[in-house]
Structure 1
Amino acid sequence: MAAGGPDPRDDGDGGGALRAALSGLTTRGRSFLAAGVAAVVCAYVLGQADLLRVGLLLAALPLVCVVVLVRTRHRVAGTRRLAPSRVPAGAEARVHLRMENVSRLPTGLLMLQDRVPYVLGPRPRFVLDRMEPGGRREVSYRVRSDLRGRYPLGPLQLRLSDPFGMCELTRSFSAYDTLVVVPRTEPLPPVRLAGGAPGYGEGRQRSPALAGDDDVIPRGYRHGDDLRRVHWRSTARHGELMVRREEQPQRPQCTVLLDTRRTAYRGAGPDSAFEWAVSGAASALVHMLERGYSVRLLTDEGNALPGAAAGGLAGSAHESAESASLMLDALAVIDHSDGTGLSRAYDMLRDGDGLLIAFFGDLDEERAAEVARIRRRSAGAVAFVLDGADWETDGVPASGAREAFERRLRLLRESGWTAVPVGRGAGLADHWRRAGQAGAADGPAAVGTTGFSGGWS
């Protein structure tokens, strides 16, 4: 929501306002002024008094219009409302503008213009009829972008003109709004991935109550504790009343790793390989949050993107929606990194750090070896690997490139990854289902090059 109330009469001091108004003379006003000056000069040379009066009238008319427009106390308030303020790429948002005349005088014809980036569409312009004192006018327009990002809307510009069209004044409101275009997310099938926590997505949660009696961590008795929770073995050992701790549900952990290396992707635009990887990471984190996981979003540079609690992991279940929004906002502006390796991401992972879902660009031999080492830090790992050569051209890659790509996939599978190859035009839902089938078969090698959608067969 943006609001403002510029006074078209004010532009610093009075002299500054007058100079600004003179610079706003239209072609008609400048023509009248030039004709008047020429008539006055000719009247002086020829000694024609009547021509002098005509020249003075022509020259005075635009100047009088300037003074009247500057001295008129027009005060117009404007507000802007976005509905909604965050949209996925390719979706539309509507911008509502509301103008109100808060002065005691009616306005003339108003020309309204809102500044928008060119990627959102043409700059909207509106002509508003005369507004009575206290009157309101509402207009709206639509914006749409296929490219994710944060786009400023505004400031709103208002153009005033006199009844004769001799002068125009432009004033800008100070406030602006921001439209956030997040990556597209694709609904994913509810499959179980290799290393995923059993039971999640089915309304069940793990709890310390499932632990044996020896695994209970007691605490001292507090006034008001239920005596049925007294742990007698610990009470005998410590010589004071000890009670079992409250059962705290434990959420499984999932890390979504996004490879942003500039050297790993080719091409640009909404249909490029990098945009597919960003959209895939967004879809994965939203899906895992909906299944009850605590999700952390990492990049190849080891940055934990915002949207999580301490340590980069989303908190309790009621925080999942907020966490998803924050991480999607971060993905809306994420760009390529200048790094060449994945060692920083390896340092951010901890041993047994739950499920790891990674989206990699093109991997060479050295990077594939680093990815194989990353696998040791997770309980289960699924990798969606994009082949740069296939995304760059529409044809079939050369046999040498195909063999090299298959060799790197084989290395990842041998190290324990469920490696899924991704080709041009691939849909994440199908590849997600294949990854789940491989997890159910308890064998990462179950996903082979036959699952390469849009690539080789």
Structure 2
Amino acid sequence: MSTGGTGQAEADRGEAGGVRTALAGLTTRGRSFLAAGIAAAICAYVLGQSDLLRVGLLLAVLPLLCATVLYRTRYRVAGGRRLSPARVPAAGEARVHLRVDNVSRLPTGLLMLQDRVPYVLGPRPRFVLDRVEPGGHREVSYRVRSDLRGRYPLGPLQLRLSDPFGMCELTRSFSAHDTLTVIPRVQPLAPVRFSGEAKGYGVGRQRATALAGEDDVIPRGYRYGDDLRRVHWRSTARYGELMVRREEQPRRSRCTVLLDTRAVGYEGAGPDSAFEWAVSGAASALVHMLERGFSVRLLTDGGSSVPGEGADGFAGGQETADAAGLMMDTLAVIDHSDGTGLSRAYDMLRGGDEGLLIAFLGDLDEEQAATVARMSRRSGGAVAFVLDPDTWAREAADVPGPGTGRHAERLRMLREAGWTALGVPRGASLDDLWRQADRERSGLASVSGEALG
């Protein structure tokens, strides 16, 4: 939940001064009265009718008087906005709470409250507020929803003031803005294990100190509270002070999620497109691996990663929520790249120390398939979800059919290079493919690498 900024709108002459501001606020009714009054006054002057002149002056003065009184009214109104929540998945709803406070000593008149929202979030909300007593407040709320990922600005909040006769309306804007972040949909994944490898804190990947002999232990100085059973007497005699063995720390297993964002690899657009499926799949894999305690990094075809990501990626555990939030914010605005190759992503992979590699790939030509095939050498295990371009190019009503020989050939190349490669037809469930990948990897006795719990 986030609280939007507050601001004040002051309906007095200090806002946007000048008579023009007041006259510009005349409504259709006010302009009609003014025009009728002027016309009546001209006719009265030509015809010499004093009674008609008085009627014309009354008609002309009434809207001008209302505009002047409304413009010079000196009450102050403060407004605030609160999003609940500020980050929602695609197709999810958020509620926007608005609050208006009258911080002046005068009661307000009729107020119209309007908030600016992008068209994709729905119609612009408008509320009519009755008289607000001095020191009082009014609260209203509305819902926003988007099927498309992105960051959408909300605001500024606008307040429209009106006189009792409806002759004039003046608009005041607050300065505060808020941002609603629509993140990809995250699908819960089954707690499978890819070919019996270690879990997040890998018991199968011991630190070098755990395999070292007694002479290779790196000691440190004794600290108050250290267990005396950890005293290293040989180092104590060497340095002349009490030394203890360092505690052995388990090494956190790593996982890299590769997302192919090349525009040439996908067809179609919209919330049900192939690219959106890949983005949602990458988000689901990232969250799942973080929850399992892995150090996770997000990598794109251009070699970019998440701002603020460490050398080993984001660590799971207690920081899972914050790490997942940063990654989801990045995926919320990720778009197609102009690149045509995956060589930069290949260069970003550390040789042999990358851990488990999970890739979500679009259509691959022969050259890019060869590049992806080489990536398996720089990982401890590789799983690829390759979108079938033919089935995704069909209409949603079509029944997904088998891919072409070209797509099958690309999958064969990846499998021969050590990948667990699965084709993704239109409408496929990521959880089903996730389980299928586990079954295929479990059937390969020679597979080694990181674990997926």
TM-score for both structures, normalised by structure 1: 0.90
Checking the alignment, whether the CA contact within 8 Å between 1:148 and 1:332 is kept in structure 2 is yes
How far off is 1:433 after superposition? 0.3
CA distance in 1 between counterparts of 2:215 and 2:349 reads 27
Listed one character per residue, the Cα deviations across residues 259-310 of structure 1 (whole Å, up to 9, x for unaligned) are 00000000000000000000000000100011110000010000011353x2
Match of 1:6 in 2: 9
Matching residue of 1:40: 41
| Residue pair 2:40, 2:55 contacting (<8 A) in 1 also | yes
Report if the CA contact (8 A) 1:187-1:283 is conserved: yes
1:99 Cα offset (Å)? 1.0
Q: How does 1:53-452 map to 2 (within 5 A)?
A: 53-194=54-195, 197-200=197-200, 208=207, 210-213=210-213, 217-224=217-224, 225-232=226-233, 242-306=243-307, 308=309, 310-311=310-311, 313-315=313-315, 317-352=317-352, 353-394=354-395, 402-442=404-444
- Aligned residue for 1:30, secondary structure, equals helix
Q: In structure 1, the residue corresponding to 2:166 is in which secondary structure?
A: coil
Instruction: Encode CA deviations 1:66-92: one digit per residue, 9 max, x unaligned.
Output: 110011112111111111111111111
Structure 1 CA distance for aligned equivalents of residues 446 and 152 of structure 2: 42
Cα 1:398–1:422, aligned 2, differ >3 Å: closer, same or farther?
closer
| Structure 2 match to 1:453 | none
Give the letter for the 1:368 counterpart.
A
Give the secondary structure class of the aligned counterpart of 2:404.
helix
- Looking at structure 2, the residues matched to 157 and 28 of structure 1 have their Cα atoms a distance apart, in angstroms, of 22
Secondary structure in structure 2 of the residue aligned to 1:188: coil
**Residues in 2 aligned to 1:259 and 1:268: alpha-carbon distance in whole angstroms:** 15
- Which sections of structure 1, spanning at least 5 residues, go unmatched? 446-457
Distance, in Å, in 2 between the alignment partners of 1:396 and 1:97 is 46
CA displacement at 1:100 relative to structure 2 = 1.1
Counterpart contact for 1:207–1:250, Cα < 8 Å:
yes
Rate the CA distance shift 1:285–1:42 in 2: closer, same or farther, 3 A.
same
Give the aligned residue type for 2:419: W
Q: Do the aligned partners of 1:21 and 1:169 also contact (CA within 8 Å) in 2? A: yes
For residues 186 and 377 of structure 2, the distance between their equivalents in structure 1, rounded to whole angstroms, comes to 29
Q: Indicate how the Cα distance of structure 1 residues 132 and 147 shifts in structure 2: closer, same or farther if over 3 A, else same.
A: same
Query: What count of residue pairs does the alignment treat as equivalent?
Result: 439
CA deviation string 1:237-268 (max 9, x = no partner): 88876532122231100000000000000000
Give the C-alpha shift of residue 383 in structure 1.
0.4
Amino acid at match of 1:24: G
The residue identity in structure 2 corresponding to 1:406 is: A
Against the structure 1 CA distance between its residues 272 and 443, is the aligned structure 2 distance closer, same or farther, given a 3 Å change threshold? farther
Tell me the distance in 1 between the aligned counterparts of 2:185 and 2:8.
Answer: 37
Give the direction of change, closer, same or farther, for the CA distance of 1:239–1:288 in structure 2 (3 Å limit): same
TM-score, structure 2 as length reference: 0.91
1:387-437 residue CA offsets vs partner (Å, 9 max, x unmatched): 1121011458999x6111111110000000000110000010000001111
349 and 237 in structure 1: CA distance in 2 versus 1, 3 angstrom threshold: farther
- Residue pair 1:162, 1:168 contacting (<8 A) in 2 also: yes
Work out whether residues 82 and 96 of structure 1, in 8 Å CA contact, stay in contact via their aligned partners in 2: yes
Q: Larger relative CO (CA 8 A, sep 6+): 1 or 2? A: 2
- C-alpha separation in 2, matches of 1:396 and 1:256: 30
* SS of residue matched to 1:6: strand
State the Cα distance separating 1:314 from its structure 2 match.
Answer: 1.2
Classify 1:128/1:13 alpha carbon distance in 2 versus 1 (closer, same or farther; 3 Å).
closer
Contact 2:219 2:232 in 1 (8 A): no
Secondary structure at the aligned position of 2:340 is classed as coil
Please report how far the alpha carbon of residue 37 of structure 1 lies from its aligned counterpart in structure 2 after TM superposition: 0.9
Contact 2:385–2:422, Cα closer than 8 Å, also in 1 = yes
Counterparts of 2:141 and 2:392, CA distance in 1: 40
Residue 217 (structure 1) shift: 3.5
